[in-house]
Chains A and B, each alone.
Chain A
Amino acid sequence: MAPRRARSIGTKTTQTNRVATPASPASQAPAQPTGHHAAIAVRHCSFGYRDDPPRPALADVWFEVAPGELVAVIGANGTGKSTLLKLIAGLLAPDHGEVTVGGREVRGPDLGVGFVFQEPRLLPWRSALENVAFPLELAGWSRGAREARARDLLRLVGAPDVERLRPHQLSGGMRQRTAIARALALEPAVLLLDEPFSALDALTRERFNVALQSIWRTTGTTILLVTHSISEAIFLADRVVVLAGRPGRIVAQVPIRLGRPRSLVDLDASIVSDVSAAIRAALEREELA
């Protein structure tokens, strides 16, 4: 499949519930979201865990992701990044507000949404191939069809040689690749990635970022990626959504004006330093506040 991305993406319509004004080039472009063509729309969403005492996690979050866009969500621990992904995946229901995927309100888990958790969460009693085929099995695919599809996916994520191995026989990186392949099994329109590479060393992580970019370009899937790493967010994303505070709120949305495809060398460009500074400024401003 041909790459769909044009160069110099980064002028998406954005709205924040408290928009920061980072320095150029990572300028904000606040505007009313249209919602008509959004792959993901999160509107005025608030959510709190009903613990004792109650734990508010997100407050009045509003943002959209266009079809085929790759958006990174960045923020400190406890700012509700993973909660946000679970709301979009339908694993949690918002206390207030609305989440739509593909224009339809999320009322529960949807097969059109793939989820890669922070931990690979592979079934330890199944081989890598069987793990990738798991969603297909649940969806009623025949054994032959699901194994063929699982093999294709393992090739796509760069793990073709591990199909017979069980999770405990795989390296951390291979486990995470297998988890990504599993999330892609049902060809989801939206892929949610919750810090998928956080357990990997820096060099492996860089290689995986390149691989993820390639997967995104091949599949055309809309991706929402949660990460702690500013450089990872800049390398991968068209736009970075900055979450801060407790409960978490969006304090900035920073477009990344780097061409595609990106290579690791692009991270040395001066624009990256400026964008990085803008994201840090947004985070620090919120901390000081």
Chain B
Amino acid sequence: MTRHVLRDFLPVVAVATGFVIAWKLLVVIGGYPIFILPPPEVVAARLVAAWRDGTIEPHVVTTLSEILLGFLIGSGLALVTGYALARSRLAERLLSPYLVAAQATPILALAPLIALWFGTGLASKVIICSLIVFFPITVATMVGVRSVDRQLLEVGRAFRATPLQVLTRLEIPGALPAIFGGIRVGATLAVIGAIIGEWAGGESGLGVLINLARGSLFDTPLLFATLVTIAALGVALYWLILVVERRLVGERG
């Protein structure tokens, strides 16, 4: 167990340590002032202080709510749409052009419009997150369902599996590795979606805090501390999905 943990986490810790050392060297050698590039220990101290004095926490709660809601709604819709696209040529012909067009339109350009229509509250951020999550999971689901081994589906037919049994016992488990590939991408994009949504208009959230730290507060260490928090949120979500994936997909050889 200890060996397993060491093998998994030691390289990650080593890379992080290397990154912090390089960052510190850059600050020392370059002689940058704190408002341009604060050294890592200053950022770390500001991060701890911001958590202690309650500066960051409410923003984290807001952003995390937006991410989770947007991710759940977007991925739920994507799973249904991806399955429909995989199994119905008509659905693919009808929906594909619009899906591609929606994906090709930058979310940065859509975000102000969505904030205008749905206000600067939770709804607009959830919609932006859902939109940004939707496409990769839809495509992954479509590809995953289509790539389920036809021979296994024939086994299901031979044992007179009902359409629902084919879906739940063969297609979904068979497509899971591909679907999780899309979910991993979607989870990280959901973080970006929430920040973009908050930049387009909002009163709370880590995106709002970045704007505050950069503009009115002129607190570059807080800006960096917020960036670190956003990155940590993304990594935590990604790791959580990996854990679920390992549990559901497991070793398949």
Residues of A within 8 A of B (CB): 89, 91, 108-111, 113, 115, 117, 119, 121, 123-125, 134-135, 137-139, 166-169, 186
Q: How many residues of B contact A (CB 8 A)?
A: 23
- Indicate whether B52 reaches chain A with its CB closer than 8 angstroms: no
Chain B: minimal CB distance from A123 (Å):
6
A134 to B160, CA, bound (A): 11
**8 A-B pairs with the lowest CB-CB distances in the bound complex, closest first:** A168-B253, A124-B252, A135-B159, A115-B158, A125-B173, A121-B155, A121-B151, A109-B160
Chain A: minimal CB distance from B21 (Å):
42
- Indicate whether B123 reaches chain A with its CB closer than 8 angstroms: no
Instruction: Please tell me if the beta carbons of A134 and B252 are within 8 angstroms of each other in the complex.
Output: no
A167 to B149, CA, bound (A): 15
A115 to B249, CA, bound (A): 27
Interface of A is mostly: loop
Q: Which one of A91, A110, A135, A169 contacts B154 once the chains associate, using CB atoms below 8 Å?
A: A91
6 of the cross-chain contacts (CB-CB < 8 Å) are: A91-B154, A121-B154, A123-B173, A125-B249, A138-B160, A166-B253
Q: Which one of A110, A138, A167, A168 contacts B169 once the chains associate, using CB atoms below 8 Å?
A: A138
Interface residues of B in 30-59 (CB under 8 A from A): none
Instruction: Please tell me if the beta carbons of B160 and A91 are within 8 angstroms of each other in the complex.
Output: no
A192 to B174, CA, bound (A): 25
A135 to B157, CA, bound (A): 11
Chain B: minimal CB distance from A25 (Å):
37
Instruction: Please tell me if the beta carbons of A168 and B158 are within 8 angstroms of each other in the complex.
Output: no
- Indicate whether B143 reaches chain A with its CB closer than 8 angstroms: no
- Indicate whether B250 reaches chain A with its CB closer than 8 angstroms: yes
Instruction: Please tell me if the beta carbons of B253 and A169 are within 8 angstroms of each other in the complex.
Output: yes
- A119 cross-chain contacts in B, Cβ below 8 A: 151
- By CB atoms of chain A within 10 A, which of B151, B158, B162, B173 has the most? B158
Instruction: Please tell me if the beta carbons of B151 and A109 are within 8 angstroms of each other in the complex.
Output: no
Chain A: minimal CB distance from B191 (Å):
30
Q: Which one of A91, A123, A125, A167 contacts B158 once the chains associate, using CB atoms below 8 Å?
A: A91
- B174 cross-chain contacts in A, Cβ below 8 A: 123, 125
- B157 cross-chain contacts in A, Cβ below 8 A: 91, 109
Interface of B is mostly: helix
- Indicate whether B178 reaches chain A with its CB closer than 8 angstroms: no
- B159 cross-chain contacts in A, Cβ below 8 A: 109, 111, 134-135, 138-139, 186
- Indicate whether B242 reaches chain A with its CB closer than 8 angstroms: no
Chain B: minimal CB distance from A228 (Å):
20
A134 to B168, CA, bound (A): 12
A270 to B218, CA, bound (A): 99
- Indicate whether B251 reaches chain A with its CB closer than 8 angstroms: yes
Chain A: minimal CB distance from B159 (Å):
4
- Indicate whether B227 reaches chain A with its CB closer than 8 angstroms: no
Instruction: Please tell me if the beta carbons of A109 and B253 are within 8 angstroms of each other in the complex.
Output: no
Chain B: minimal CB distance from A248 (Å):
21
Chain B: minimal CB distance from A226 (Å):
15
- By CB atoms of chain B within 10 A, which of A115, A137, A138, A169 has the most? A138
A166 to B251, CA, bound (A): 8
- B252 cross-chain contacts in A, Cβ below 8 A: 124-125, 166, 168
- B151 cross-chain contacts in A, Cβ below 8 A: 117, 119, 121
| Nearest neighbor of B166 in chain A, beta-carbon distance | A138
Instruction: Please tell me if the beta carbons of B155 and A117 are within 8 angstroms of each other in the complex.
Output: yes
Instruction: Please tell me if the beta carbons of A168 and B251 are within 8 angstroms of each other in the complex.
Output: yes
Chain A: minimal CB distance from B83 (Å):
18
